[in-house]
């Protein structure tokens, strides 16, 4: 038997509880792992608290990322005792995820843990840091260098935002952080390395199709009016990497930034991203991430507190990352 957070939706309603499951209940996939750590992402919190149509089938074990040790494998790439991590692939939405002591997944979805990172560090990075790295790679691919000018990061207090700020700062970019929490100013400036902060309210209301040119590039995890206003304020030939929808799925913009300023909107999909790009991103993360900073950006909670953690995350009470230690079940 093992502990798992389980979401059910039937005649008794939508509910999430910590349950004892047997290995026979795991999905029939070719690799089974003993989960060491998972994390709480915005998407997990929406699923756990029934605040968005995230889960596609029930019952579901949430948790869109995890790291663990292989205990059974029928997959040629993975042997017993290998340590592997998983982000994306619809795990925690369509397939059982990582907020449990065991998980069974396709070996094709797994990535080896880079030598320079501990399992705990990979989940301190998790989907949020991985997505942030993909966004930085997208800006680099479009030729954006620190010499081009300031880079805006929206949702800077959140998981993806925090990592985007710190990665860009480590690479020498001047980072402007957009945040709704004045209390996070010292954290963003002194800990993560932002050069300046703007209030998210400057960007969250409906704006004009074009505004003053302010930033050479941006990483946006917010969407909706925020992304529209970011596009309107990007300098000529600038780039925006879009990876989230915390404000909404809509994009109330015009073609003006694209056809009058040559702005590029680069979409970043961390869920179905191909394995070579995943490996490249994790390799770069292993080179760039500051271990001491990771500790400051994260808080570890036991699996028994995952539901409460999800509620805090949705209420905007969490800064940085929540790691769930799946080994410490009550």
7, 48 Cβ separation under 8 angstroms: yes
The answer, yes or no, to whether residue 318 has pLDDT greater than 90, is no
Strand pairing of 321-325 and 31-40? Answer: antiparallel
Instruction: Answer positive or negative: Cα dihedral of 200, 206, 241, 48.
Output: positive
Number of CB atoms found within 10 A of residue 111's CB:
17
Domains of the chain, each with CATH number or no CATH: 2-117+294-325 (3.90.180.10), 127-267 (3.40.50.720)
Residue 317: pLDDT band (50, 70, 90) is confident
Model pLDDT for residues 269-312, shown as the tens digit of each residue: 999 999 999 999 999 999 999 999 898 888 999 999 999 999 99
Of the pLDDT bands very low, low, confident and very high (cuts 50, 70, 90), residue 133 is: very high
pTM metric for this prediction: 0.91
Beta strands at 298-302 and 321-325: parallel, antiparallel or unpaired: parallel
> 85 preceded by cis ω (within 30°)?
no
22-40 tens-digit pLDDT: 999 999 999 999 999 999 9
Contact of 268 with 253, CB cutoff 8 Å:
no
Backbone angles phi, psi at 130, to 5 degrees: -65, -45
State the chain's maximal CA–CA distance in angstroms.
61
Per-residue pLDDT at 329: 52
Report the candidate in 258, 249, 219, 245 with the shortest Cα–Cα distance to residue 134.
219
Q: Are 78 and 107 in contact (CB under 8 A)?
A: yes
Q: Is residue 198 within 8 Å of residue 181, measured between CB atoms?
A: no
């Amino acid at each position: 038997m093992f502990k798992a957070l389980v979401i059910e939706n039937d005649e008794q309603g939508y509910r999430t509880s910590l349950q004892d499951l047997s290995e026979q209940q795991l999905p029939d996939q070719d690799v089974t792992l003993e989960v060491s750590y998972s994390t709480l992402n915005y998407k997990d919190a929406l699923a756990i608290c029934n605040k968005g149509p995230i889960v596609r089938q029930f019952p579901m074990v949430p948790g869109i990322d995890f790291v663990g040790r292989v205990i059974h494998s029928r997959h040629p790439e993975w042997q017993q005792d290998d340590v592997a991590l998983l982000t994306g692939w619809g795990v925690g939405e369509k397939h059982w995820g990582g907020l449990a002591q065991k998980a069974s997944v396709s070996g094709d979805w797994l990535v080896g843990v880079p030598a320079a990172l501990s399992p705990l560090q990979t989940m301190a990075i998790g989907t949020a840091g991985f997505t942030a790295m993909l966004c930085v790679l997208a800006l680099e691919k479009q030729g954006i260098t620190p010499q081009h000018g300031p880079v805006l990061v929206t949702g800077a207090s959140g998981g993806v935002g925090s990592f985007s700020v710190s990665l860009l700062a480590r690479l020498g970019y001047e980072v402007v952080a957009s945040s709704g929490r004045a209390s996070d100013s010292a954290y963003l400036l002194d800990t993560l390395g932002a050069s300046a902060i703007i209030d998210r309210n400057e960007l969250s209301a409906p704006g004009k199709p074009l505004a003053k040119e302010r930033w050479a590039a941006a990483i946006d995890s917010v969407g909706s009016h925020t992304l529209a206003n970011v596009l309107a304020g990007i300098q000529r030939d600038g780039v925006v990497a879009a990876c989230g929808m915390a404000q909404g799925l809509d994009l109330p913009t015009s073609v003006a930034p694209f056809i009058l300023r040559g702005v590029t909107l680069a979409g970043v999909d961390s869920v179905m991203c191909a394995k070579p790009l995943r490996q490249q991103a994790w390799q770069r993360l292993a080179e760039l991430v500051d271990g001491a900073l990771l500790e400051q950006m994260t808080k570890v909670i036991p699996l028994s507190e995952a539901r409460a953690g999800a509620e805090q995350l949705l209420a905007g009470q969490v800064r940085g990352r929540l790691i769930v230690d799946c080994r410490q079940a009550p």
